[in-house]
């Protein structure tokens, strides 16, 4: 895991250095006991792409995402379960805004927040283990470093849900309350929800222009 994070940091450096380079250029600039292995590993992980003999291209964030992480597939996986769940918090906002508002998540760190019933927790754990998906239970110790797409499970005795495009999601009222509790991050989302569903919240978000 530590090695991956080192490669991830190096990837950012390479992006700002050269979008395309040769193995010789890399070995000359970046001191390494085995530069060819570094390039091989980063290519295998999708951070780089080999475009010729000894030539490499740095993949953009979008390219890396499309090659290594299928976020839609991770959401779609929830349609395979026969258990009650509810996409909650940031995901409730994401679904109610029709994907229009997203914050604090990116290609390398994408938690999916879902409520689950306490009595079905064992079944959820077995489901994710069988599917080889990373997850952790909110409030319990994290056993591994989490990156990419993973699921955060919130244990509840029961909860209300509404359906959006075949997914079980927190009611709109709950999504609004979540935004109000985190107003500094979600005020733009409140304005969107207000406009989309005519909630009468009278929220108007405006970015402050500054000159330095």
Tell me the per-residue pLDDT of 145-185, one tens digit each, with 9 for 90 and over: 787 889 999 999 999 999 999 999 999 999 999 999 999 99
- Looking at residue 204, its pLDDT comes to 57
What is the radius of gyration, based on Cα positions, of the chain?
21
Dihedral (Cα; 102, 108, 113, 117), 10-degree rounding: 160
Question: Which position has the token pair 């993949």?
Answer: 59
Question: Among all chains, which residue has been given the structure tokens 């989309």?
Answer: 196
Return contacts of 81-85, CB within 8 angstroms, 24+ apart.
Answer: 81/124, 81/127, 83/116, 83/117, 83/120, 83/123, 83/124, 84/116, 84/117, 84/120, 84/159, 84/161, 84/168, 85/114, 85/115, 85/116, 85/161, 85/168
**Range from 2-6, 31-35, 115-119 carrying the lowest mean pLDDT:** 2-6
- Spell out the domains of the chain, with CATH numbers in brackets: 2-65 (1.10.10), 69-197 (no CATH)
pLDDT band of 198, cuts 50, 70, 90: very high
Element (H, E) at 121: helix 121-130
Confidence band, pLDDT 50/70/90 cuts, at residue 9 = confident
**pLDDT digit string, tens, across residues 54-113:** 999 998 877 776 665 678 889 999 999 999 999 999 999 999 999 888 888 876 788 999
């Amino acid at each position: 895991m530590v090695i991956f994070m080192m490669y991830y940091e190096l990837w950012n450096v390479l992006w700002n250095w050269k979008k395309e380079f040769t193995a010789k250029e890399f070995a000359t600039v970046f001191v390494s006991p085995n530069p060819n292995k570094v390039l091989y590993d980063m290519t295998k992980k999708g951070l780089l792409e080999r475009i010729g003999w000894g030539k490499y291209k740095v993949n953009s964030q979008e390219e890396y995402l499309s090659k290594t992480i299928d976020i839609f597939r991770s959401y779609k996986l929830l349609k395979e379960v026969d258990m009650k769940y509810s996409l909650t918090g940031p995901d409730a906002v994401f679904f109610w805004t029709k994907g229009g508002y997203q914050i604090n998540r990116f290609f390398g760190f994408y938690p999916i927040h879902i409520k689950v019933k306490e009595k079905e927790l064992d079944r959820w754990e077995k489901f994710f283990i069988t599917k080889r998906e990373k997850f952790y239970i909110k409030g319990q110790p994290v056993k591994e470093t989490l990156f990419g797409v993973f699921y955060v499970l919130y244990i509840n005795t029961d909860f209300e849900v509404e359906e959006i495009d075949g997914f079980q999601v927190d009611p709109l009222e709950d999504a609004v309350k979540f935004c109000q509790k985190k107003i500094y991050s979600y005020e733009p989302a409140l304005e969107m929800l207000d406009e989309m569903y005519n909630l009468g919240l009278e929220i108007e978000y405006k970015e402050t222009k500054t000159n330095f």
